[in-house]
Amino acid sequence: MLVCGVQTMPTSAAAGERSDPSRISTFCAPLVVPGLNGSGPDHWQSKWAEAFGFARVEQTSWTAPKFDPWYRRLDHAIMCAGRPVLLIAHSLGAALSISWLQTTRCPERVAGAFLVAVADIDRTHCPEASRLQDFAVQFDRKLPVPSVMIASHNDEWLSFNRATLFARSLGSRIIDVGFAGHIGTAAKLGLWADGLSHLADFAETII
């Protein structure tokens, strides 16, 4: 089922409370955008959605992604939100989010993009990439909203050097998280406290 709503908190929250992830929904509509195979229960995206009531894009097929249906699902979730969305995207979901932002006629529907371990379809040596060519991102087009790119030095889907170049081209601020692989389930990040801190800091800049 496609979830369009978000958990909301009282609008009287003080500015200082914005650093609390559970309060982010007071000021925008957080939307989790998973990548290939979805985000299982041990993935930080799933843990954030459960802990803080963040909405989540649901795709009809996580294992056999097709660009057009995935794009439409993301578009629908963004348009369903009652307020500007804060995209919280990982891997193929981050690549999809970039493509949506570069092609939409309604960029005002998004307050910002928190892009983690963007899938670099054109350069990765991961075997799955051969069936994901439609998701390849045009990294030479600046995004129309504030964004941050979280990158690792040993991500098999995106080299740190490429991430640095992409961030500059997209107009994103890059955040170096060291050697965290693809920053997904395999990294065993749990609730990923450092990621929550980065998210809260970013949210403060777009409020």
What pLDDT was estimated at residue 154?
97
What pLDDT was estimated at residue 19?
54
What pLDDT was estimated at residue 11?
33
What pLDDT was estimated at residue 26?
86
What pLDDT was estimated at residue 207?
77
**Cα–Cα distance, 177 to 127 (Å, whole number):** 25
**What dihedral do alpha carbons 25, 143, 59, 136 form, nearest 10°?**
-150
Domain borders along the chain are 29-206
**Cα–Cα distance, 93 to 70 (Å, whole number):** 9
Which tens digits make up the pLDDT trace of 171-189? 999 999 999 999 999 999 9
Which tens digits make up the pLDDT trace of 57-83? 999 999 999 999 999 999 999 999 999
Q: Which residues touch 50 (CB under 8 Å, ≥6 apart)?
A: none
What pLDDT was estimated at residue 23?
81
CATH number of 29-206: 3.40.50.1820
**What dihedral do alpha carbons 15, 21, 26, 27 form, nearest 10°?**
70
Which residue ranges of the chain lie beneath pLDDT 70? 1-19
Q: How deeply is 185 buried, as exposed, middle or buried, from its count of CB atoms within 10 A (0-12, 13-18, 19+)?
A: middle
Contact by Cβ (8 Å): 77, 55: yes
> Which one, of 84, 112, 83, 81, lies nearest residue 199 by Cα?
112
**Cα–Cα distance, 179 to 153 (Å, whole number):** 5
Strand 173-176 to 55-56 pairing: unpaired
What pLDDT was estimated at residue 140?
85
Q: Degrees (nearest 5) of the Cα angle 165, 137, 39? A: 100
What pLDDT was estimated at residue 1?
35
pTM (2 d.p.): 0.89
Which tens digits make up the pLDDT trace of 1-14? 333 323 222 333 33
